Structure 1
Amino acid sequence: MSDRPEGAAGADAAIVGIRRAALSTDLAAAVAELIRQRRLGPGDAIPALRPLAEQFGVAVPTMREALRRLEGMGILEFRHGSGIYVGPNANRLVVANAMAPRPTKAKLQELLSARLLIEPAIAGQAAQRREPAALAALQEALATARSFIGAAAPLGAAADRGLAEANVRIHQAIAAVTGNSVLAETVDTWASLHARDQAEILMLHGDPEQDYAEHAELVACIAGGRWQLAQRKMRDHLAGVLATITEAGEPT
């Protein structure tokens, strides 16, 4: 790989811009491939900026641009004074857009409608597969949600956020129980897309106890291998959330 000359005017400048963008994309892909070839995982260090630039035969600013692109995708992490490390998304196939705007009511409805089509089937597969370690994590997520409800539960906005995060984690854990990493990554992506709205959805739903009861019944069906009932419980639960969103105003 090599840098293209800069400073061209008119149409030539536009072509140079396209080439630079293509070079940055190719560099980012090459670094991602380097991570895979070396079998590096999250938290592992990669070579520093200048050695990488020398390895790929490009200028340091161009190499930095490619690495920042990977950082924005969660594939790399820059740690000030320490170096460059493999990020949590390095081996994922499905990655959320970190720069996505907050969803409108219409987008939330579309998102929940999509989940209604897919997550009941995920719940059914989870009940049939019941991957042991993931099932234990699901039970733990349910217990965490329980800890935020009732007389002994903490009060305030932090508790609301904690309960909302625990509820999201239940859905993520259900997908993990299927043993299918792509399904798990897909649900993770949905969760991140409207994570900021979960507390508001919970308040609109109006009854944390009922919400917990629905999750508890769903988890019991999955743990018991009752896949058809698990599908129905998931469908009913998401349909209720969608109805709540439909009746509410725009997210604040």
Structure 2
Amino acid sequence: MDAVPLLRISRPHRLSEEVGAVLEKHIRSGEFGPGEKLPAEARLAEQFAVSRAVVREAIARLKADGLLESRQGSGVYVAQCLGAGVFRMAAGVRGEAHPIEDIFELRLIIEVAAAERAALRRTPADVEAIEAALARMDEAVALSADGVRADDDFHCAIASASGNPLIGRFVAFVSHEFSASRAPTWSREGIVRGLAGAAQDEHRAVHAAIVAGDPAAARRAARQHLLRAARRLGVVLAAPPGARGEDMDEETS
């Protein structure tokens, strides 16, 4: 007897998924800011008109995604760095960091592609977010202050403007790791030596290309920024096989 083909059954969204999606939207929009305490389970259950078990399951998923964290005896808080618990760059042994060359190479792969796509897909809101971070870095240079967080936000805004949510989320997930490669530029010594000012000139070039809607220029500006940022820290990245002439010139000049 031939097997009877069975119809695929659509699985309806679970309540916990819907609650989680709403909470995630509030977190990513900044309505629940980093480090902010979430309302109690009972309060959330009342607001969503669901059981506390549903809320608990939604919170568990957001914890697994690195968006929320529990503090013993205190409650549930929005993570200081969204997604930080999801992806680690430890090299096998806990606490063992990758060399800065590896971090810059990863940044080169991700951020260049993100800038290129951002030039094609950016929205007015994306441009506003990029410019806000750029202005905060200008202020940090003027005041000789730490601009690492604004630098992180600048690159995260570009990744978000790529129109690819996976690129945006991935850069957000690892931005705390990328911060280590930006910190020397924004140290007091780095600002005095002009490293932050040079980086800002490069940031403006990336911003201008994205606003102009020129993907080739955005790609080139982002690549030059990262290669020069690496070189300022004494890191010379090897040219990949088959690299184009302009890439080779930038890396070997």
* Common topology (TM > 0.5): yes
- Cα shift at 1:83: 4.5
Q: Give the gaps of 5 or more residues in structure 1.
A: 1-32, 49-53, 57-62
Q: Which residue does 1:13 correspond to in 2?
A: none
Is 1:235 paired with 2:223?
A: yes
Q: Which residue does 1:223 correspond to in 2?
A: 211
Q: Which residue does 1:36 correspond to in 2?
A: 17
Contact 1:164–1:198 (CA<8 Å) still a contact in 2?
yes
Contact 1:221–1:227 (CA<8 Å) still a contact in 2?
yes
TM-score (structure 2 length as normaliser): 0.61
Q: Which residue does 1:200 correspond to in 2?
A: 184
Contact 1:116–1:238 (CA<8 Å) still a contact in 2?
yes
- Look up the equivalent residue of 1:95 and give its one-letter code: V
Structure with bigger gyration radius: 1
- Look up the equivalent residue of 2:204 and give its one-letter code: A
Q: How does 1:65-144 map to 2 (within 5 A)?
A: 71=63, 74-78=66-70, 83-84=75-76, 95-97=86-88, 101=95, 103-104=97-98, 106=99, 108-144=100-136
What is the distance in 2 between the residues matched to 1:142 and 1:123? 15
Output the aligned Cα RMSD: 4.2
Closer, same or farther in 2 for the Cα pair 1:190/1:244, shift >3 Å? farther
Closer, same or farther in 2 for the Cα pair 1:71/1:130, shift >3 Å? closer
- Cα shift at 1:168: 2.0
Q: Which residue does 2:149 correspond to in 1?
A: 165
- Cα shift at 1:226: 1.0
Q: Give the gaps of 5 or more residues in structure 2.
A: 1-13, 33-37, 43-51, 237-253
Closer, same or farther in 2 for the Cα pair 1:34/1:81, shift >3 Å? farther
Secondary structure of the corresponding residue to residue 194 of structure 1: helix
Contact 1:131–1:179 (CA<8 Å) still a contact in 2?
no
Contact 2:134–2:150 (CA<8 Å) still a contact in 1?
yes
Closer, same or farther in 2 for the Cα pair 1:242/1:74, shift >3 Å? same
Contact 2:195–2:232 (CA<8 Å) still a contact in 1?
no
Closer, same or farther in 2 for the Cα pair 1:97/1:34, shift >3 Å? farther
Contact 2:104–2:181 (CA<8 Å) still a contact in 1?
no
- Look up the equivalent residue of 2:221 and give its one-letter code: K
Residue identity over aligned pairs, in percent, reads 27
Q: Which residue does 1:187 correspond to in 2?
A: 171
